[in-house]
């Protein structure tokens, strides 16, 4: 199948395993994603309705603006994708504006700009909640016009909410299907990418998420969770079907980017 890609780049995006994931998502009236990220699974799924949440308020605001304003929002974003804005000085000027503005329209436009002009599409915040990804130094920057247009059309079926995963899972009803893509348990001490929102995602959060998944099966709801394949993670998801897929990952540092293949785990908590 052709994999539809999001208009945003996103750490841990699911475009590389979405075909495998689809095989484990049963039919239902609504797909609920408490960690929607850039929306790769949503874009490639086929449900009548979607309830899509994330703890990153800037991300959800941007999705909502594209959903509500479509072409007008696309055109406003396009205005920033010009060569004179692809310089370090201009990037840091616009990043400062993003961190200081209270205008939601402008903030969402700047989020798209920062996502595409920043370092490898990372999304990272200081403890004070300021976006602090450095300039990406790309010769050319792609403007995702068609991806934005498709996202806006598909979003007509969706509701986007900024919420903690616990709050969203409390809204699950019989007939729903749940897919959870939490910030992955890091493979090493130097690979912790859980700061995509101003608050961190802890091992306690992972444990609570697994508990919610188990409880929802008793209400007739199937829950699918993806994560790195680690012994502790497999133990955490005991009682679920465990499937392993190989996925390419871009490992980046200050000087270079390299692609490695890692094992990801898909845990399927089947409805009882």
| Residue of 60, 37, 56 lying closest to 131 (CA atoms) | 56
For 179, the enclosing helix (H) or strand (E) is: strand 176-180
The SS3 assignment for 244 reads: strand
Eight-state DSSP code of residue 54: E
- The separation between CA 216 and the C-alpha centre of its own chain, rounded to angstroms, equals 22
Q: Which residues pair with 257 in a beta bridge?
A: 252
Q: What's the length of the chain?
A: 272
For 160, the enclosing helix (H) or strand (E) is: strand 158-162
3-state SS track over 91-145: HHHHHHHHHHCCCHHHHHHHHHHHHHHEHHHCCCECCCCCECCCECCCCCCCCCH
Count CB-CB contacts under 10 A for residue 266.
22
φ/ψ (deg, to 5) at 248: -75, 140
14 labeled binding residue = yes
The SS3 assignment for 178 reads: strand
10 labeled binding residue = yes
Cα torsion 116, 5, 21, 200 to 10°: value is 20
The SS3 assignment for 189 reads: coil
CA distance 100 to 77: 18
List the structure tokens of 244.
């392993």
54 labeled binding residue = yes
The annotated binding site for S-adenosyl-L-methionine is made up of 10, 14, 54, 181
The annotated binding site is made up of 10, 14, 54, 181
């Amino acid at each position: 199948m052709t994999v539809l890609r999001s208009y945003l780049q996103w750490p841990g995006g699911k475009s590389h395993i979405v075909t495998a994931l689809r095989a484990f998502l049963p039919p239902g009236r609504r797909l609920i994603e408490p960690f929607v990220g850039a929306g790769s699974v949503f874009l490639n799924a086929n449900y009548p309705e979607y309830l899509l949440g994330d703890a990153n308020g800037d991300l959800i605001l941007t999705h909502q603006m594209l959903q509500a304003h479509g072409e007008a929002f696309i055109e406003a974003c396009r205005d920033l994708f010009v060569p004179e804005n692809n310089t370090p000085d201009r990037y840091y000027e616009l990043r400062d504006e993003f961190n200081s503005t209270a205008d939601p329209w402008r903030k969402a436009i700047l989020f798209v700009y920062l996502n595409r002009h920043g370092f490898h599409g990372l999304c990272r915040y200081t403890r004070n909640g300021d976006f602090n990804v450095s300039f990406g130094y790309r010769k050319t920057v792609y403007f995702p016009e068609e991806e934005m247009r498709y996202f806006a059309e598909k979003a007509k079926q969706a509701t986007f909410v900024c919420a903690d995963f616990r709050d969203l899972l409390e809204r699950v009803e019989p007939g729903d299907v749940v897919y959870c893509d939490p910030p992955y348990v890091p493979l090493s001490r130097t690979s912790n990418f859980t700061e995509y929102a101003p608050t961190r995602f802890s091992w306690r959060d992972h444990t609570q998420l697994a508990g919610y998944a188990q409880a929802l099966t008793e209400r007739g709801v199937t829950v699918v969770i993806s994560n790195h394949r680690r012994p502790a993670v497999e133990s955490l998801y005991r009682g679920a079907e465990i499937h392993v897929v190989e996925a390419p990952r871009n490992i980046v540092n200050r000087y270079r980017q390299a692609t490695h293949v890692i094992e990801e785990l898909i845990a399927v908590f089947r409805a009882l």
